[in-house]
Amino acid sequence: MSFHQAVYSEDIIFNRGGPGRCGVRLPDWKVEEDLVPPKLQRKELGLPELSEPEVVRHYTRLSQMNYGVDIGTYPLGSCTMKYNPKLCDWAASQPGSANTHPYQDPSTVQGNLQIMYELQSMLAEVGGVDEVTLQPAAGAHGEFTGLLLSRAYHKANGEEHRNEVILPDTAHGTNPASVTTTGYHIIETKSAEDGTVDLDALSSALSDKTACFMLTNPNTLGIYEHNVVEIAKMCHEAGSILYYDGANLNAVMGRSKPGDMGYDIVHYNLHKTFATPHGGGGPGAGPIGVKKHIAPFLPKPVIARKGDEYVLDYDRPQSIGKIGGFYGNFAVLVRAWTFMKVMGGDGLKEASEMAVLNSNYMKEKLVEHYPMPHKRLRKHEFVLSGSNMKEKGASTKDVAKMLLDAGLHAPTIYFPLLVDEALMIEPCENETKEELDAYIARMIEITKASEEELHNAPVNSKVGRVDEVKAARDMVLCWRASGKCESK
Amino acid sequence: MQYIPNINHKEQMLKEVGYSSIDDLFEDVPDEARCDGLKLPPGKSELEVERELNQILHKNCTLDHCPGFLGGGAYHHHVPKTVWSLAGRSEFITSYTPYQPEVSQGMLQAMFEYQSAIAELTGMDAANSSMYDWPTAIAEAAMMARRINRGSEFLIPSYVLGNKKSVIHNYVDGTGLVIKEYPYDPSSGQYDEDALLGMVGDSTAGVYVESPNLFGVIEEKVADLKAKIGKASLVIGANPLSLGILEAPGNYGADYVVGDAQVFGNPLNFGGPMVGYFACKKEHIRRMPGRIIGMSEDSRGQMAFCMTLQTREQHIRRDKATSNICSNQALAAMASSIHIYLLGKNGMRDLAQQNASRAKWLMREMNRMDGVKAPAFDSYHFNEFVVKTDEGVKAMQDRLLAGGVFAGLDISREFPDLGNASLWCTTEMHTREDYDKLLALLKEVEQ
C-alpha cells in the first residue's frame, strides 16, 4: 500500500482569526452591574478570536494529520488497539444519558443505574469475581484503587504491618508508580528463563510483610503464567492478596477467568478489552472486581438493586470512600455496555480466540526474521527483539519509523525492559489476514533495508523525526497571547 | 461477527503456522483455571441493541425534560454542535497516546493548544494535558506541594464537599502528608483568614483555596494571600468559566491552579468523563504530574510537537514518577479547548458575565419569596449560591421534583450549621419559562 499523510502548515490557533470574531452566539440576557469584586476584575484575556468556520477548518486539518485505528493497523502491545464500533459512539452520545446530572435523584436516573448495574454483572462474569466498582477513570486509577482495597483489607484484619508489594520485572510502569502513591514498598522479582514467574524467587520474596502481588496474566511477554494456580496458593498461604492487572484480559475471555486462576482483585481496562476508544490518551475506564472477602471495602457508592429499583448504595461502612468525584467515566461505561451486548458471551470468547490466533500467526511468520527470546507459545501479543538491526547500525526505533512510512503504526517499542530492543506486537481480533500479511511483509522488508533508509524514515508522515531533546531543553509547553512561552 | 474478519480463515491460518486447533493455543492454561465460555446472553444485532438502549434510557428523566439547578462540581452548559463534530472525528477518537509523534501531529498540536488555553485562562506558564477530575487534581497538587516544599501538612478549607475530601485522603494518606481543614466565616461564606494564617507554619507544604468556592462565593482576600503564607505553595481551585471575568490566579500569586474544564464542551454525562485541569508556574514544571506536550522541530526544521519531560512519568521513572497517572481525559480535554476557542476572548467574557448575571437576578427573585433566603452569604457570587429555606431541604426537593424541577443540591447534612441549606446553580441553559416554573413552585409552599 502506498501512503502519504496529509501535510498542512497549520499555524498555532493563537496566530489565526481576527479582532471581533466569535464562534458562538449566546441567548440574550441583561448583564448586571458589579458582578465581581473590583480588585479581582479580569484585566486581560488573551484568547484568539475566531469564527466557527475557522475553528472547523483548523481542527479538521489537524485530524487529517493524525493516525488512528480507523486508518490502519495499530498493533501497540499491551494497549489493545481494537476496533471501536460506531454503534458505541452513538450510544454514548444519546441525550437520554448525556444530559443527566450526577446529583439527580436516583429515581430519575434508573436507566443510567441499570446500565451500570448490568455492566458490573457482565464484568463480574468475565473476571470470575463477585462484585465490581466502575468508579476508576483509567487503568492506573483502577490499579491504585486495587492497592487501597488491599490496604483496607489487611488493616481490617489487624495486619497493617503488611507494607510490601511484589512486582515481576515485566510490570507496567504504572504498577510501581501506584505502589509508591499508596505508601507501600516495592519488591521486584526476576522472571525465570522462559519468561514466566520464577516460583523460587517469588517464594523468597513472600513474607508476613507482603500485602499484595501484582501480576498480569498473560504477562507482558504475552505468555500465559502456567503456574498461576500455584502462585495464587503461595500468595494466600503467605497471607498476601493476588492482584490481576487487566492489561491483557483480551487474551483469555471465555477461556480462563482471573477469579478461577486464584486472583482476589481483578482489574479491567474498558478502553482495551471492551472496545472503548483511546481518544489520543483518554478518557478510559478501569473498573475493579473483587471476591467476596474484599467486597466490603469497595469505593462508594456501589450500584445495587433493591427489588425493582436500582440504587446508589452508600451504606457500606467499611468502604474506602471515594476515588473520583462521581461514579466514573459514565460515557465510557455506556460504550462498554453496548459492546458487550452486541458481542454476547459467545462473541467475547471468539474475540479472545481470534486475537490469540492473529498474534500467533504473526509471531510464527516473523520469528525467523527477528529474535524472540523466551517461550514459544504466546497469547494475544508477543515480543520480538530488534537487536538484529544493530549490525547495520540501526535500532528498533528505526524499524518503528519505517513501519510508519508504510501507513502502519509501530508496535510498542523498548518495553518490556526485559527484552533488548523490544518490539511488542498485539494485532487484536479485528485485523484481516490480508492486513496481517502486509504487516508481516513490511517487517521482513525492513530487515533488508539499508542503514540510510532506516535512519531517514519516516518521510511519508506530516513531519520527520521530532527532536525530543530540543523539546525537553526549550520547554515550549504552551502559547500565550504574548506568543511562544518558553519555560527553560 | 461483524467486527471479526478472520473467522473463515481460522483453519487455514492455524495450518500455515503449524497449529491444529484453537485449543492448541490455550494448552498452557491449567485445568483449574479453564472455563468453557461465559454465562452471558448471546450477542445481538445492532438494531436490537439500539432498541434496548433506547428503552432503558427512556427510564431517565433528563435536564431536557425538567429544568435543573444542580451544580456542585458538574455543570450543565450548552455544548455547541461544532465541538463534537470535530472532537468526534475518528482520526482523533481512535488514536492512542501519541508515542509516535511523526504520525500524531494533529492530536499533539490540539493538546498543546488545550494546554495553552488553560495557561492563558489561569495566567500560568504551563498546564498538563489533563487529569481525571477536580478532586484528583487537588490530591495531586497536595502531593506536588510536598515534593516542592517538604512540609508535612496541606491545608484545605472545611467547605470542600465530602466526596472531594474523601478522594484527597485516599491519595495522600499513604504518603504521610497530613490534611488539615481551616474554617470559613459563617456570614460571608469566605475562608476565615485569621484561622487560616494561624495554622500556616514551617510544616505547611501548601494551602488550597477555592474561588468561586463550594458556596459559589468569590473569595476576596485571596488576592493578597500569597505574601502571607511564606514558602507554602498557593493552590487555587477555580471553575475556569469564572476566569472569563475574574482575575487570573497567576496574577495574584498562585503557584498552581486546578479545577475542571467539563464546563466547556462536555455534556454532564452523569458525572464522567470530567476534565481535571492542572496548571503551574514555570519553576514547578519538573515536579508537575501528568503528560505534557511540548513544541519542537523535526529533522527538516519544521514546527513539530511531541510528549516531553517524560522523565517525570511512570513509564520512564516507575516508582520515582511524580504520579501514577497514564491514561488521562485527552479527548474530553480537546473538546473543552475547541469550545474555549469558539468562544474566544469576547465570548468567554460574555458567557461568564451572563452566568454571573443570571445568578444575581435569580438570587434576587428567590429572595422575594417568604421563607427563602438567597443567597445565604453576603458576598459576590459566580453562578452558584446557597439558599436557606424554612422548609426542610428534602421536602422542598421532592415537592419541586413532583412539579418537574430539579432543586439545588442538599448540603444541609454536610454543613448542619447552615440549617436548611441547598446549593443552586444557574447557567445559560435556563429559559424564562424555567425560572417562572421554579418561582411558582417555590411560592406554592407559602399558601
Out of 3.40.718.10, 3.40.605.10, 3.90.1150.10, 3.40.50.11540, the CATH code matching A351-465 is 3.90.1150.10
Please report the residues numbered 363 through 422 in chain B whose beta carbons come closer than 8 angstroms to any beta carbon of chain A: 380, 397, 401, 406, 409
Residue B15: the pLDDT is 97
Which pLDDT tens digit goes with each residue over B406-421? 999 999 999 999 999 9
* Interchain contact A328–B (C-beta under 8 A): yes
Neighbours of A403 (CB within 10 A): 24
Decide: B244 and B264 in contact? Cβ < 8 Å.
no
Q: From the list A23, A227, A412, which residue is nearest B342 (CB)?
A: A23
Q: Report the distance separating Cα B105 and Cα A62, nearest Å.
A: 7
Q: Do A280 and B92 touch (CB under 8 A)?
A: yes
Neighbours of B9 (CB within 10 A): 18
Q: Nearest Cα to A424, choosing from A483, A363, A479?
A: A363
Q: Which residues pair with B68 in a beta bridge?
A: B406
Which pLDDT tens digit goes with each residue over A394-447? 999 999 999 999 999 999 999 998 899 999 999 999 999 999 999 999 999 999
Neighbours of A282 (CB within 10 A): 31
Determine the average pLDDT of the residues in B318-333.
88
Q: Do B42 and A345 touch (CB under 8 A)?
A: yes
At residue A482 the predicted structure's pLDDT band, cuts being 50, 70 and 90, is confident
* Interchain contact B298–A (C-beta under 8 A): yes
Q: Report the distance separating Cα B328 and Cα A280, nearest Å.
A: 9
What the block records as the C-alpha cell of A278 is 483511546
* Average pLDDT over all residues of chain A: 96
Residue B222: the pLDDT is 96
Return the H-helix or E-strand segment holding A363: helix A330-366
Domain formed by A87-343, architecture = 3-Layer(aba) Sandwich (3.40)
For residue B167, CA distances in Å to A82, A322, B257 come to 32, 5, 18
Q: Report the distance separating Cα B324 and Cα B313, nearest Å.
A: 8
B347 has pLDDT over 70: yes
Q: Do B274 and A325 touch (CB under 8 A)?
A: yes
Q: B421-425 and B384-389: which strand pairing?
A: antiparallel
The angle, 0 to 180 degrees and rounded to 10, between the axes of the packed helices A396-405 and A433-447 is 130
* Average pLDDT over all residues of chain B: 96
B447 has pLDDT over 60: no
CA geometry: angle at B355 spanning B351 and B361, to 5°? 140
Q: From the list B18, B39, B84, which residue is nearest A125 (CB)?
A: B39
Which residues of A fall within a CB distance of 8 Å from B286? none
Determine the average pLDDT of the residues in B329-358.
98
Return the H-helix or E-strand segment holding A50: none
Of chain B, the percentage scoring pLDDT greater than 70 comes to 100
Give DSSP secondary structure letters for B265-329: T---GGG-S--EEEEE-GGGGGG--S-EEEEEEBTTS-EEEEEE-GGGSHHHHGGGSS----S--
Q: Nearest Cα to B272, choosing from A92, A107, A96, A341?
A: A92
Please report the residues numbered 240 through 269 in chain B whose beta carbons come closer than 8 angstroms to any beta carbon of chain A: 243-248, 251-252, 260, 267-269
Say which residue, A174 or B6, is predicted with more confidence: B6
Count Cβ neighbours within 10 Å for each residue of A348-366 and write b for 16 or more, e otherwise. bbbbbbbbbbbbbbbbbbb
Q: Report the distance separating Cα B91 and Cα B294, nearest Å.
A: 21
* Interchain contact B432–A (C-beta under 8 A): no
Q: Report the distance separating Cα B274 and Cα B261, nearest Å.
A: 7
Residue A173: the pLDDT is 83
Chain centroid offset of residue A382 CA: 18
Q: Do A431 and B126 touch (CB under 8 A)?
A: no
Q: From the list B72, B167, B273, which residue is nearest A332 (CB)?
A: B273
CB pairs below 8 Å between A and B: how many?
710
* Interchain contact B324–A (C-beta under 8 A): yes
Neighbours of A200 (CB within 10 A): 10
Domains of chain B in start order, with CATH, are 81-339 (3.40.640.10), 345-444 (3.90.1150.10)
Of chain B, the percentage scoring pLDDT greater than 90 comes to 93
* Interchain contact B64–A (C-beta under 8 A): yes
Determine the average pLDDT of the residues in B369-395.
97
Residue B311: the pLDDT is 80
Decide: A322 and A102 in contact? Cβ < 8 Å.
no
Determine the average pLDDT of the residues in A220-231.
96
Which residues of A fall within a CB distance of 8 Å from B175? 181, 183
Q: Do B37 and A346 touch (CB under 8 A)?
A: yes
Least confident of A229-243, A370-384, B348-362: A370-384
Please report the residues numbered 189 through 228 in chain A whose beta carbons come closer than 8 angstroms to any beta carbon of chain B: 223-224, 226-228
Q: From the list A326, A349, A351, which residue is nearest B37 (CB)?
A: A349
* Interchain contact A163–B (C-beta under 8 A): no
* Interchain contact B223–A (C-beta under 8 A): yes
Decide: B331 and B87 in contact? Cβ < 8 Å.
yes
Q: From the list B167, B248, B318, which residue is nearest A173 (CB)?
A: B318
Q: Do A68 and B94 touch (CB under 8 A)?
A: yes
A375 has pLDDT over 90: no
B95 has pLDDT over 60: yes
Return the H-helix or E-strand segment holding A378: none
B316 has pLDDT over 80: no
Decide: B328 and B131 in contact? Cβ < 8 Å.
yes
- Looking up cell 448495574, which residue turns up? A117
* Interchain contact B320–A (C-beta under 8 A): yes
Q: Do B328 and A361 touch (CB under 8 A)?
A: no
Residue A124: the pLDDT is 98
Q: From the list B7, B45, B324, which residue is nearest A144 (CB)?
A: B324
The phi-psi region of residue B220 (left if phi > 0; otherwise alpha if psi is between -120 and 50; otherwise beta) is: alpha
Of chain A, the percentage scoring pLDDT greater than 70 comes to 100
Tally of residues, chain A: 488
Alpha-carbon gap: A437 to the closest alpha carbon of chain B (Å) = 11
Q: Do B324 and A143 touch (CB under 8 A)?
A: yes
With 0-12 CB in 10 A as exposed, 13-18 as middle and 19+ as buried, what is B396? buried
Determine the average pLDDT of the residues in B361-373.
97
> Which of B1, B2, B3, B425 to substitute to test the interface with A, most A CBs within 10 Å?
B3
* Interchain contact B434–A (C-beta under 8 A): no
Decide: B34 and A256 in contact? Cβ < 8 Å.
yes
Tally of residues, chain B: 447
Q: Report the distance separating Cα B362 and Cα B374, nearest Å.
A: 9
B10 has pLDDT over 80: yes
Q: Report the distance separating Cα A108 and Cα A112, nearest Å.
A: 9
Q: From the list B106, B305, B341, which residue is nearest A64 (CB)?
A: B106
Q: From the list A100, A338, A485, which residue is nearest B125 (CB)?
A: A485
Which residues of B fall within a CB distance of 8 Å from A23? 80, 82, 341-344, 347
Amino acid code (one letter) for A290? V
Query: How many helices (H) and strands (E) would you count in chain A?
Result: 15, 14
So where are chain A's domains? 1-24+49-66, 87-343, 351-465
Alpha-carbon gap: B371 to the closest alpha carbon of chain A (Å) = 24
Which pLDDT tens digit goes with each residue over B219-247? 999 999 999 999 999 999 999 999 999 99
Chain B residue with the nearest C-alpha to that of A269: B327
Please report the residues numbered 170 through 189 in chain A whose beta carbons come closer than 8 angstroms to any beta carbon of chain B: 172-174, 176-184, 186
* Interchain contact B21–A (C-beta under 8 A): no
Q: Which residues pair with B425 in a beta bridge?
A: B384
Contacts 24+ apart (CB under 8 A), B434-442: B434/B67, B434/B405, B435/B362, B435/B365, B437/B67, B437/B403, B437/B404, B437/B405, B438/B67, B438/B69, B438/B400, B438/B405, B439/B365, B439/B366, B439/B369, B441/B399, B441/B400, B441/B403, B441/B405, B442/B366, B442/B369, B442/B372, B442/B400
ipTM exceeds 0.90? yes
Alpha-carbon gap: B241 to the closest alpha carbon of chain A (Å) = 12
> What is chain A's alpha carbon radius of gyration, rounded to the nearest angstrom?
25
Which pLDDT tens digit goes with each residue over A317-357? 999 999 999 999 999 999 999 999 999 999 999 999 999 99
Q: Report the distance separating Cα A202 and Cα A187, nearest Å.
A: 10
Q: A483-486 and B256-260: which strand pairing?
A: unpaired
Alpha-carbon gap: A216 to the closest alpha carbon of chain B (Å) = 14
Q: Nearest Cα to B140, choosing from B160, B154, B152?
A: B154
Residue B446: the pLDDT is 55
DSSP E strands in B86-143: the ranges are 126-127
Which pLDDT tens digit goes with each residue over A274-297? 999 999 999 999 999 999 999 999
Q: What are phi and psi of A60, to 5 degrees?
A: -65, -45
At residue A1 the predicted structure's pLDDT band, cuts being 50, 70 and 90, is low
Q: From the list B76, B96, B294, which residue is nearest A477 (CB)?
A: B294
Which pLDDT tens digit goes with each residue over B159-218? 999 999 999 999 999 889 999 999 999 999 999 999 999 999 999 999 999 999 999 999
Chain centroid offset of residue A364 CA: 27
